[in-house]
Amino acid sequence: MPAAPPLDPREPHIALDALRHRHAEAGDRPTRIRVDLDALTHNLRALRAHTGVPTMGIVKANAYGHGLVPVALHLQAQGIEQLGVAFVEEGIALRQAGVTVPILVLGGIFGPQAAQFIAHDLEITVSSLSKLRQVEAAAESLGRKATVHLKIDTGMERIGVHSYSAGPFIEAAVASPWCEVKGVYSHLASADDPESPMTAQQLQRFLDACAHFERIGAPMPLRHLANSGGVLHFPQTHLDMVRPGIALYGVLPDPASRPTVDLRPALSLVSQVVYFKVVEAGHPVSYGATWAPSQNTRVVTLPIGYGDGYPRSLSSRGAVLIRGRRYPIVGRICMDQFMVDIGADGTAYNEDEAVLIGAQGDARIRCEDVALDAGTIPYEILVGLNDRIPREYRGGARTG
Q: Which residues form the catalytic set?
A: 60, 287
Is the Cβ–Cβ distance between 244 and 231 less than 8 Å?
yes
Distance of CA 130 to the CA centre of its chain: 32
Determine phi and psi for 153, rounding to 5 degrees: -90, 115
How far, CA to CA in Å, does 256 sit from each of 47, 232, 259, 368, 376?
19, 11, 10, 11, 14
Long-range own/partner contacts, residues 373-379 (CB < 8 A, 24 or more apart):
373/314, 373/317, 373/318, 373/319, 374/311, 374/313, 374/314, 374/317, 374/318, 375/313, 376/311, 376/313, 377/253, 377/254, 378/246, 378/251, 378/252, 378/253, 379/64, 379/246, 379/253
3-class secondary-structure state, position 317: coil
CA angle 359–365–367, rounded 5-degree value:
115
Separation between Cα atoms, residue 337 and residue 179, nearest integer Å: 52
Is the Cβ–Cβ distance between 60 and 84 less than 8 Å?
yes
- Closest among 71, 151, 48, 1 to 396, alpha carbons compared: 71
DSSP 66-86: T-HHHHHHHHHHTT-SEEEES
Separation between Cα atoms, residue 216 and residue 220, nearest integer Å: 10
3-class secondary-structure state, position 269: strand
Longest Cα separation, the chain? 84
